[in-house]
Copies of this chain bind each other. A is one copy, B any other.
């Protein structure tokens, strides 16, 4: 058993748990899981998502060929320094944090030279977290962003590509950390902020009868884990605020056009949005 490829997954919530399910049999190896929550440990073992449970993070990474940090960002930042001294030579480290610039700086500061690192961001999720909601199919067709440091180890990047393919990733792209953060600051962070801002207040008298698909879809991700997203948004604040300020300015301009009855502005704004929306589906 010791010679088999060993994957350690630290944090068995929605993302780590789903990766555990999806990675069963990856490289004919075994999966060792760690989670601080005892009920999660038991559930993951019972469900067969992991082959073994480690009771300490550093126990999980010993002998591991691939170590995936899958907690919330604060958990990753807490676990990495504990685990890094126990990494075996040649181990590949990855993590699924939604912000990569800060993560990369942290890893470069702490990772021992005999280990290798490539960041991973699976563009998948659900409004509800926890191992109970984990499922192996979560990543089917999802975009996967690989974020290698510069310079990086080609075989480590290849391992992450293999992992992405194994769990069913759709398009896989490689970005540096700065590009990742800027793009995700738009495609994910800004969307979540907009959705929450849309329901931060709502008019008296509103009922479900007044809502249709537009409301449902525009506000779906306002069902949000506030503690997790506080971390993610603060961690990517520099990349988010230019998008956010531009959005607020566009809405203010749109409001001014409505007040002025400027139909030409409104129609051209809407046309451009319609064209952009179609175009993005083909990128």
Chain A interface residues (CB < 8 Å from chain B): 123-125, 142-145, 170-173, 175, 179, 182-184, 186-188, 190-203, 205-215, 217-227, 229-230, 233-234, 237, 240-241, 243-248, 250-252, 254-255, 258-259, 261, 263, 266-274, 276-278, 280-283
User: CB distance B214 to A254 under 8 Å?
Assistant: no
User: CB distance A143 to B222 under 8 Å?
Assistant: no
Counting every copy of the chain, the complex holds 2
Complex: A97 Cα to B278 Cα, angstroms:
26
- Residues in B with CB closer than 8 Å to A270 are 196, 224, 226, 229-230
Complex: A259 Cα to B245 Cα, angstroms:
11
Nearest residue, chain B, Cβ from A197 = B250
Query: Whole-angstrom distance from the CB of A186 to the nearest CB of chain B?
Result: 5
- Residues in B with CB closer than 8 Å to A201 are 246, 250, 276
Query: Whole-angstrom distance from the CB of A236 to the nearest CB of chain B?
Result: 9
- Residues in B with CB closer than 8 Å to A203 are 182-183, 186, 243
**A212-B142, A234-B261 given as contacts; is B206 within 8 A of A280 (CB)?**
yes
Complex: A196 Cα to B267 Cα, angstroms:
11
Summarize A's interface: helix, strand, loop or mixed.
helix
- Residues in B with CB closer than 8 Å to A210 are 123, 143, 145, 173, 183-184, 186-188
- Residues in B with CB closer than 8 Å to A195 are 214, 218, 273
Contact of A237 among B175, B182, B230, B259 (CB under 8 A): B259
User: CB distance A255 to B277 under 8 Å?
Assistant: no
- Residues in B with CB closer than 8 Å to A188 are 210, 212, 214-215
Complex: A250 Cα to B203 Cα, angstroms:
15
Complex: A184 Cα to B215 Cα, angstroms:
10
- Residues in B with CB closer than 8 Å to A220 are 213-214, 217-218
User: CB distance A198 to B209 under 8 Å?
Assistant: no
Contact of A209 among B123, B222, B224, B234 (CB under 8 A): B123
Nearest residue, chain B, Cβ from A270 = B226
User: CB distance A212 to B124 under 8 Å?
Assistant: yes
**A193-B251, A210-B184, A224-B274 given as contacts; is B258 within 8 A of A199 (CB)?**
no
Nearest residue, chain B, Cβ from A259 = B241
Identify which of A179, A184, A248, A261 gathers the most chain B CB atoms within 10 Å of its CB: A248
- Residues in B with CB closer than 8 Å to A237 are 258-259, 261
User: CB distance B248 to A252 under 8 Å?
Assistant: yes
- Residues in B with CB closer than 8 Å to A142 are 212
Contact of A199 among B211, B212, B273 (CB under 8 A): B273
- Residues in B with CB closer than 8 Å to A233 are 258, 266
Query: Whole-angstrom distance from the CB of A255 to the nearest CB of chain B?
Result: 4
